Amino acid sequence: MIKTLGILLLLSVTAAGCSNDAMEPEEINAEIDVCEVCNMGLAHEHYATEVVTADGEVYKFDDIGCMDEFLGKEADLQEEKAAKKYVRDVDTGEWIQLENAFHAYHPDFWTPMANGVVSFKDKESAEQYVKEQGKGEVLDYKLLKQHEWSWEQ
């Protein structure tokens, strides 16, 4: 009886550990993952973004612009408690919560969907990218929320 109870307890703890309660991003599998919006393969992994819901659903995007378009149609996921939004540092591939990331923007910056927004884990990296490119501006979360998305140049 005690052994059975111990096994059930272990199984329930293991099952709880497998859920996405922490709303953490999943790794990208470039072979099979496709963008939720445009259905393109996620070949450029360092530009990929994700929305992870409190229910454990993970929505993957090839570009931050596609994620923004998706969230515009899914107003219930814009709440902080409903979902976490992740971008990747373009240099390292490290996942960063959207609210904590910095972005370099210029319409000529290359991104999978040609929106010109490149994400970084810190302001210094975004500033360095703009300096190296000789153009663009750095956007924090507040400025990114005000950004007008356009794929037309």
Nearest-CA neighbor of 20 among 48, 46, 59, 75?
59
CA distance 44 to 27: 13
- Parent domain of 64: 21-146
* Tally of domains within the chain: 1
Average pLDDT over residues 111-134: 97
Tell me if 58 is assigned to some domain.
yes
pLDDT of 21: 55
Residue 95 lies in a domain: yes
Residue 134 lies in a domain: yes
- Flag whether 10 is in a domain: no
Q: Give me the percent of the chain exceeding a pLDDT of 90.
A: 69
pLDDT tens profile 1-48: 555 444 444 444 434 444 445 889 999 999 999 999 999 999 999 999
Is 85 a domain residue?
A: yes
Residue 151 belongs to some domain of the structure: no
For residue 12, tell me if it sits in a domain: no
Contact indicator for 58, 50 with CB cutoff of 8 Å: yes
Q: pTM (2 decimals)?
A: 0.82
Does the residue 50 lie in any domain?
A: yes
* Distance from chain centroid for Cα 56: 15
Instruction: Give pLDDT, residue 22.
Output: 80
